[in-house]
Amino acid sequence: MVCATIAQHLGLAEKVAQIGNQIMECPKCLSFWTVLGVLLCYGCNILLAIGLSLLAAYAANWMGFVYMELNNIYSKLWQRTTNK
């Protein structure tokens, strides 16, 4: 309780919340840190965990591109249907 109070008083809790907010906004960062945390909790080798986390981050990046393209296709189809 004392450590939490000191962290709050020194502004450390606010800084941790800001960093957490930045991680939550970036799909690559969120994927990397989530996969890394889960693999380390399950006792995975650190190098393998980092490698798989990087792979998950790149997969999240490419899925973002796929979602953007699908969104463009949906927008074009929506415009065609509303213009008729």
Helix (H), strand (E) at residue 27: helix 27-41
pLDDT of 25 above 90: no
> What pLDDT does 19 receive?
78
Say if residue 49's pLDDT is above 70: yes
Q: What average pLDDT is seen over the chain?
A: 84
Distance CA 84, CA 81 (A): 5
- Which residue is listed with tokens 């213009």? 83
